[in-house]
Structure 1
């Protein structure tokens, strides 16, 4: 139960629903236990009046006796019906409070997990699979809902019913009560040992279910790769193996449950037998009446479902505990990138400094940036060029504070970005990533993601500046075209340009483009560069690329190699060095000439 203690805050939040639910449970049980009391009185009435009926059988008073006795039986019958209706009504209210409470807690817990996911840093998402994250917010939360709703409902009903019934039984005959409840210690031991097995198996099942979800999610996302490499059979086999493991674990748990339920029924049956046997002896000895024996038998039968539900509740609790343990593992992870105490928003002018910055990826141990120094003045346009793995994208991630360097400082407007509020920092920077991600929504809403308040005219202007407006207007629904998951209906170049439009519509003082033109053709690239040159006139811009934009007049071009600046200067200055930049430019020129000749 220590893992489930994390849910206590929700019970406090919905304490009135919980209290009312428990109150309705108690009232429902009180009305239900009146029924066996009525049955006892009927049996005793019949027993006491049999002799009287025999005496009056041959007299003229028998008719009156029958009439009066019939009215009495009718009264008891109607009373039993009324108590049953009242019990059912409060049982309905019980479900309306406790089950509805569980839905509210499910809603709050999902929101808490989702919000926590969004606060965690990139390193967390690199270490955990998407399918596992989804499984914890769906399957695990669903199992927890079964604990905060049905499990509590059944457990409270069982507890109240046992307390009230045992109290009433003790008032009638303590000895018979002792025999009736004697199987309970054995039942408790059975529950204890079986619960340990259920918890272990439930934890394994949830982990395997998470694995299945991850495999399925990766297969759906990478279906084009699977098909192009003809790996459908291998993918299916991989999924089948995971499903088989999950099936075997689920069957094993089902077998445990199958053993548990008959054990409950055996205990109940044993109680009934003991009640009838010992109760019959008590009746013969005159210690109790026949009505008392009937009352005891009904009490035992009333306890049948609660006792039987003990196994179900135990399973719910153990599964919920295993799920909550998995959720707690994530909720207890603290994001490394957070607002430092006293962090404030500040207007960024566009002046950027990196002073002796070094950064190593914690999950791989790879040092991406080493003793890095760079000063970008307000309004400057800087190109960052380098081979794959040279640290270009890492530099961009540091500037928007997706990571913090282990050494050195990143400053904007002469302030360490750790002293700036995260929202304020990222709000003033447009970042167009290398890995384009579009949402399953309209094109307009994907562009508007950079500025949710933008009207359609602003959206169209951003698309025009990104040289994608003509492509969009060629679609039947134009800007209202649904692009599917991750923009699957668009070409690579179209997705990149929509991503650029998303960055442009934000209109900040600082813009970072991370190799975002790799999928466009040379003609479109020149058009975009021309538009960007005018758009970025008064802005600080960092363009990370593996190509050289000769038409774009950069204030500074830096060449990275293994996280260090190995070349720096203007286009002409770098060509004169005859280094990596000069080699790259010559190779690019030859490729362009070959394309023209072909």
Structure 2
């Protein structure tokens, strides 16, 4: 019953709804006592041969009234109890989704997408069942079982009733023992489902890579291995779950044997009538549901308890990105001072950044270059406050960025990541995703600045073309340019382009950068790139290697240093010549 205590906050909140539902359940149970009594009375009347048409119509009318009353009361408890369960599911889904929105990068490194999806689907359904079927089976079994037993004592015989219900405590004991085992196995089952869900999501998302490398058979084999393991665990759950019904049927069989033997004895000795025995058997049949409900109740509660613990474990995790109580709410603007002495990712002793210092005045452009894994993207993650735990300070407009609210900081930053994520909606809505109040003219203007306007007009439905999941219908270059348009449409104070021109040709790159320079003359821009021509016009360029700045200066100064930058520039110029492109002039 611990799950009811854990959900006590919700039941107190919806007390009126559940009290009304239990009230209607009680009415159904009371009205349900009428038909067996009527049946017994009719049997006795027929046995005595004194049943008249008037009496028959009277009793049948009473049974019809009982049936209509039961129908209305059942509608009442279903509306109250199932409505409460649906509201709990909505509350928990909203709470969990909002929790996902607030969590930091560390949270998503720890939890895989498939596992989070399992929590948001199967686990929440199991918790909802507690507030619906759990409440129903608990109170209905108590009320129906209690009123039926009282009726058996009052209308038939108390001795027969006591003997008939003697096996019932065995059901409670068996249900408790099986329920404890089911709780442990169901927790394993939910974890297995999470792994299966995660594998499915990963395989579907990476289907192009799987097919490109011809790994369909290997991935299918890996999937089947996980499926087999999941089925094996679920078989154990189903085996324990399947023991509830046979146990209940066995106990019911014992009850019927007692009823027939001792009830027949009482009829033979004239202590009860044949009609009373028929009524008693009917009442015993009415006890089948409460007895089954006890086993079902433990099943529902144990599943819900395991799921609630899993969901609550997620909800109790806290983001390490915390806004200050008196945080600055005005949008960030001004100069940027980046002074990181040391930064390491959580649970990693290796320093990802060491002594990375630079100052970027408002309106200037900074270029960041270096090999893959040098630490360029890490600099951006710190600017975006994905991590706050570092030795140093990052200032925006003279204030530590940790002094701003996240909305005030992030609304001032436009970010174009390496992995351009597009949503399954129209081209226009993808561009104005950060600000849906932008009109069509502003959307098209942003598309022109990112040199994707002509491509969009060539689409079947233009700006209303559906791009498909993750932009599957677009080329790499088109996705990059749409992501740039999405970032520039709000004219952010700081624009970060993280290797976001790698999929476009040199000519398109030059046009986009020229548009950016004209548009953002008074705004700050940071460009990270593998292609050095992307940063050659920057006010300052820093070369990062192993998390440290090894070179810095303008394009001309770095060429004169004859270091890594100059070597890479010469190499890329040669590659352009070999590819038949005009070399870029610095």
TM-score tier, shorter chain, comes to: over 0.9
| Structure 1 position 99, deviation (Å) | 1.6
After TM superposition, the structure 1 = structure 2 runs for residues 67-78 of structure 1, keeping only pairs within 5 Å, are 69-78=52-61
| Structure 1 position 418, deviation (Å) | 1.4
> Partners of 1:127 and 1:570 in 2: how far apart?
40
| Structure 1 position 166, deviation (Å) | 2.3
Give the structure-2-normalised TM-score: 0.94
The 1:288/1:429 distance shift into structure 2, 3 A limit, reads same
Which one of the candidate residues 445, 451, 466 is aligned to 1:461? Answer: 445
| Structure 1 position 337, deviation (Å) | 1.1
The match for 2:11 is 11
> Partners of 2:123 and 2:147 in 1: how far apart?
35
Q: Secondary structure at the match of 1:404?
A: coil
Partners of 1:430 and 1:512 within 8 A in 2: yes
> In the TM superposition, what whole-angstrom CA distance separates every residue of 1:385-423 from its partner, at most 9, and x where no partner exists?
122222110111111111113222211111111111111
Q: Secondary structure at the match of 2:522?
A: coil
The match for 2:29 is 29
Query: Which structure would you say has the larger Rg?
Result: 1
| Structure 1 position 272, deviation (Å) | 1.8
The match for 2:110 is 127
| Structure 1 position 527, deviation (Å) | 0.8
The match for 2:20 is 20
Which one of the candidate residues 243, 247, 254 is aligned to 1:263? Answer: 247
The 1:513/1:535 distance shift into structure 2, 3 A limit, reads same
Structure 1: runs of 5 or more not aligned = 54-64
> Partners of 2:108 and 2:250 in 1: how far apart?
50
Partners of 2:424 and 2:466 within 8 A in 1: yes
The 1:412/1:365 distance shift into structure 2, 3 A limit, reads same
1:137 maps onto 2:120 in alignment: yes
Q: Secondary structure at the match of 2:132?
A: helix
The match for 1:399 is 383
| Structure 1 position 230, deviation (Å) | 0.9
The 1:154/1:480 distance shift into structure 2, 3 A limit, reads same
The 1:442/1:278 distance shift into structure 2, 3 A limit, reads same
> In the TM superposition, what whole-angstrom CA distance separates every residue of 1:284-319 from its partner, at most 9, and x where no partner exists?
555544444333222111011221232233222222
The match for 2:318 is 334
After TM superposition, the structure 1 = structure 2 runs for residues 364-513 of structure 1, keeping only pairs within 5 Å, are 364-513=348-497
> In the TM superposition, what whole-angstrom CA distance separates every residue of 1:334-384 from its partner, at most 9, and x where no partner exists?
111121222131232231112344221114444211233222122221111
Q: Secondary structure at the match of 2:7?
A: helix
> Partners of 2:6 and 2:532 in 1: how far apart?
55
The 1:130/1:4 distance shift into structure 2, 3 A limit, reads farther
> Partners of 2:458 and 2:152 in 1: how far apart?
82
The 1:597/1:338 distance shift into structure 2, 3 A limit, reads closer
The 1:113/1:292 distance shift into structure 2, 3 A limit, reads same
Partners of 1:463 and 1:498 within 8 A in 2: yes
> In the TM superposition, what whole-angstrom CA distance separates every residue of 1:463-493 from its partner, at most 9, and x where no partner exists?
0000111111111211111111111111111
The 1:24/1:352 distance shift into structure 2, 3 A limit, reads same
Partners of 2:340 and 2:390 within 8 A in 1: no
The 1:337/1:3 distance shift into structure 2, 3 A limit, reads farther
| Structure 1 position 177, deviation (Å) | 2.2
The match for 1:91 is 74
Which one of the candidate residues 525, 532, 535 is aligned to 1:548? Answer: 532
Q: Is the deviation greater in 432-441 or in 173-182?
A: 173-182
The match for 1:39 is 39
The match for 1:349 is 333
The 1:357/1:431 distance shift into structure 2, 3 A limit, reads farther
The match for 1:57 is none
> Partners of 1:597 and 1:571 in 2: how far apart?
21
1:250 maps onto 2:205 in alignment: no
Q: Secondary structure at the match of 2:425?
A: coil
1:111 maps onto 2:94 in alignment: yes
> Partners of 1:568 and 1:20 in 2: how far apart?
73
The 1:300/1:234 distance shift into structure 2, 3 A limit, reads same
| Structure 1 position 502, deviation (Å) | 0.4
Give the structure-1-normalised TM-score: 0.93
Partners of 1:529 and 1:552 within 8 A in 2: no
1:528 maps onto 2:512 in alignment: yes
The match for 2:263 is 279
Q: Is the deviation greater in 396-405 or in 38-47?
A: 38-47
> Partners of 1:394 and 1:554 in 2: how far apart?
20
Q: Secondary structure at the match of 2:32?
A: helix
The 1:139/1:21 distance shift into structure 2, 3 A limit, reads same
> Partners of 2:208 and 2:340 in 1: how far apart?
43
The match for 2:139 is 156
> Partners of 1:82 and 1:3 in 2: how far apart?
38
> In the TM superposition, what whole-angstrom CA distance separates every residue of 1:525-551 from its partner, at most 9, and x where no partner exists?
111111111111000111111222378
The 1:434/1:341 distance shift into structure 2, 3 A limit, reads same
Q: How many residues align?
A: 581
Which one of the candidate residues 310, 330, 335 is aligned to 2:294? Answer: 310
> Partners of 1:258 and 1:308 in 2: how far apart?
12
Partners of 1:4 and 1:324 within 8 A in 2: no
> Partners of 2:136 and 2:217 in 1: how far apart?
47
> In the TM superposition, what whole-angstrom CA distance separates every residue of 1:445-475 from its partner, at most 9, and x where no partner exists?
1001122110010000000000111111111
> Partners of 2:244 and 2:567 in 1: how far apart?
75
Partners of 1:344 and 1:420 within 8 A in 2: yes
